Amino acid sequence: MTERHRAAVLGSPIAHSLSPVLHRAAYAGLGLEGWTYERFEVDEAALPGFLAGLDAAEWAGLSLTMPLKRAVIPLLDGITDTAASVEAVNTVVFTDDGRRTGDNTDIPGMIEALRERGIEKVGGAAILGAGATASSALAALARICDGEVTAYVRSEARAREMRHWGERLGVAVRTADWADAAGALTAPLVVATTPAGAADALAAEVPEEAGALFDVLYHPWPTPLAAAWTGPVLGGLDLLVHQAVLQVEQMTGVPRAPLAAMRAAGEAALGASGV
């Protein structure tokens, strides 16, 4: 009898998540029979009860999206240094001894996505926006950026937050007002972490010879900024696939998750949804 293993993505809202498509494609590609991957609508208030009801012998792991990445930390037995560096967990792995360990695969996922496009080092970078995704971007840039990072934000509170993360992660961070965000577009690498529509007006300001753009959105895609970009472009699906590869490997214990098959499944799902 095939042993059954369960995994799922939690968050609120969650109906849009592509994680089930990616993880199921990985299971198929790896020949893992009996593995299931679901999605559950879970907010911060419901999270403790949901975790308490899981049987560690049956569950292999969880993927977490907003608003749970920080709320889950006190409910775990431990977190990795990577997750601790940004105080955000997007991956929970259940071990044989019943422990629940949190990790953050967004950071190495972003680095791997850039490496796939031949971007291993940059002399400087700009981040559009602030918040959890921006802090993960800063953590990734701490490993590949040799120069200053400028964060374009909408408030002094956000500016203080980004400077705090810069100090914590060892990154030289300068903050600038969102009104001057067009200045970001000349950076060697631009990481857009803003919600859909927030950076659309910048599309008209893209220089003729731009560096690389990593726009973390995947729906809708391409964004106006990505469509207008004149240099290399990475999108949210690139990040999602690479971080999911790392999640699959951690949860299953099987190396070399099938990146190409997972990306193809994600692209097919987005195409089917009319994105």
Q: What is the domain-level CATH number for residue 84?
A: 3.40.50.10860
Q: Are residues 243 and 225 in the same domain?
A: no
Is residue 46, in this structure, part of any structural domain at all?
yes
pLDDT value for 47: 98
Answer whether residue 2 shows pLDDT above 60: no
| Residue 84 and residue 161 in one domain | no
Whole-prediction pTM: 0.93
The pLDDT score that the predictor gives to residue 274 is 52
Domain CATH code at residue 167: 3.40.50.720
Give 208-252 pLDDT, tens digit per residue.
999 999 999 998 899 999 999 999 999 999 999 999 999 999 999
Asked whether residue 29 falls in the same domain as residue 80, the answer is yes
Say if residue 41 is in the same domain as residue 94: yes
What pLDDT does residue 4 have?
62
Q: Is the pLDDT of residue 30 over 70?
A: yes
Same domain, 134 and 227: yes
Provide the residue range defining the domain that includes 137: 120-231
Residue 95 in tokens: 């071990």
Q: Is residue 114 part of a domain?
A: no
Do 15 and 99 fall into the same domain? Answer: yes
**Residue 122: both structure tokens together:** 């940059």
Whether 112 is in a domain gets the answer no
Give me the number of domains the chain comprises: 2
255 and 226 share one domain: no
Q: What is the pLDDT of residue 3?
A: 61
Any catalytic annotation for residue 69? yes
Span 87-110, mean pLDDT?
95
Residue 55 domain-assigned (yes or no): yes
The verdict on 208 and 261 lying in the same domain is no
Q: Is residue 194 part of a domain?
A: yes
Q: Are residues 134 and 167 in the same domain?
A: yes
Residue 115 lies in a domain: no
In tens, the pLDDT along 40-69 reads 999 999 999 999 999 988 999 999 999 999
Q: What is the mean pLDDT of the chain?
A: 95
Render the chain in DSSP notation, one character per residue.
Answer: -PPPEEEEEEESS-TT--HHHHHHHHHHHHT-TTEEEEEEE--TTTHHHHHHT--TTTEEEEEE-TT-TTTTGGGSSEE-HHHHHHT---EEEE-TTS-EEEE--HHHHHHHHHHHTT---BS-EEEES-SHHHHHHHHHHHHHB-S-EEEEESSHHHHHHHHHHHHHHT--EEEEEGGGGGGGGGSSEEEE-PPTTTTGGGGGG--SS--EEEE---SSSS-HHHHH--S-EE-HHHHHHHHHHHHHHHHH--SS--HHHHHHHHHHHHHHTT-
Q: For 108-154, how does the pLDDT look when each residue is reduced to its tens digit (9 = 90+)? A: 999 999 999 999 999 999 999 998 899 999 999 999 999 999 999 99
Same domain, 252 and 196: no
**Are residue 131 and residue 62 in the same domain, yes or no?**
no
pLDDT at 132: 84
Given 69, 100, 158, 242, the catalytic residue: 69
Do the domain assignments include residue 151? yes
